[in-house]
Amino acid sequence: MSIFRENKLYMPFYHALNDPMEAYYEGSSLTANQIQELKSMKQAIRICCLSKSHTDMLMWSHYGDGHKGCCIEVEINPISSPACKRRIIKYVPNIQTPQGSNSYERSIDILRKKLLPWQYEQEVRFLRNTAINDDEYLEVNIKKVYLGCHLEYGQVEEFKRLINDMRTIQPQIDIEQLQRNQLTYWKNKRNPNKPIL
């Protein structure tokens, strides 16, 4: 919970992420030396995975404790986040050959692509080259906290108290509980505001 105490998000390496195909690539057109360089380089890049959506139903189901957790809206502090590259994930139908003129560019290209089944995540990544800066955290400013729709009133109040008790930099933050009619599904967003009875 360092995000509430210190305004920081942990940046793991790719092998700690939940996609078993993370950082895989088609390497038949690369030389043995390029493959070895690529292996070393992609293991030296820290990753922070965020989403553009705070209302996606599947995201809440998979990452939000079955709609009983929280989603934290943040803005990245650019001054305190050196050597970070912001990349919107490109969702592709199959594993691809990495593009770029060197191992670093090819590694970034690999780490900004995921297979189509993950498209609902609407992911944005911040990538940091540890050769330039090995800080394992990304500094952020919390803008708002969204609570899951399955939390009951007493749980919501407890959540608010716990969050605000942990705050040291900004004691009070805006907290909102999402309602079912605010949730969207990435394949069918034509009527996201239509009431659900």
Asked if residue 75 belongs to a domain, the reply is: yes
Average pLDDT (182-192) is 69
Q: Any bridge partners for residue 90, and if so which?
A: 113
Counting the structural domains of the chain, the total is 1
Residue with the larger pLDDT of the pair 172 and 196: 172
Asked if residue 191 belongs to a domain, the reply is: no
Q: pLDDT band for 186, please (50, 70, 90 cuts).
A: low
Asked if residue 144 belongs to a domain, the reply is: yes
Tokens of 69: 């957790």
- Phi, psi dihedral angles at 50 (to 5 degrees): -125, 175
Count of alpha carbons within 13 angstroms of residue 188, beta-carbon side: 3
pLDDT tens-digit map of 51-66: 999 999 999 999 999 9
Asked if residue 194 belongs to a domain, the reply is: no
Asked if residue 187 belongs to a domain, the reply is: no
Residue 196 has pLDDT above 60, yes or no: no
Q: Any bridge partners for residue 91, and if so which?
A: 114
Asked if residue 195 belongs to a domain, the reply is: no
CB atoms within 10 A of CB 127: 19
- Residue 135 DSSP SS3: coil
Residue with the larger pLDDT of the pair 194 and 127: 127
d(CA 139, CA 2): 10
Residue 31 has pLDDT above 90, yes or no: yes
Answer whether 95's CB lies under 8 Å from 24's CB: yes
Average pLDDT (168-182) is 82
Domain containing 33 equals 2-182
Say what the pTM is.
0.86
pLDDT tens-digit map of 96-120: 999 999 999 999 999 999 999 999 9
Tokens of 120: 């609902």
Asked if residue 113 belongs to a domain, the reply is: yes
Q: Render the burial of 85-104: b for 16+ CB within 10 Å, e for the rest.
A: eebebeeeeeeeebeeeebb
H/E stretch holding 80: none
Closest by alpha carbon to 108, among 52, 50, 41, 51? 41
For residue 188, the 8-state DSSP code is B
Asked if residue 138 belongs to a domain, the reply is: yes
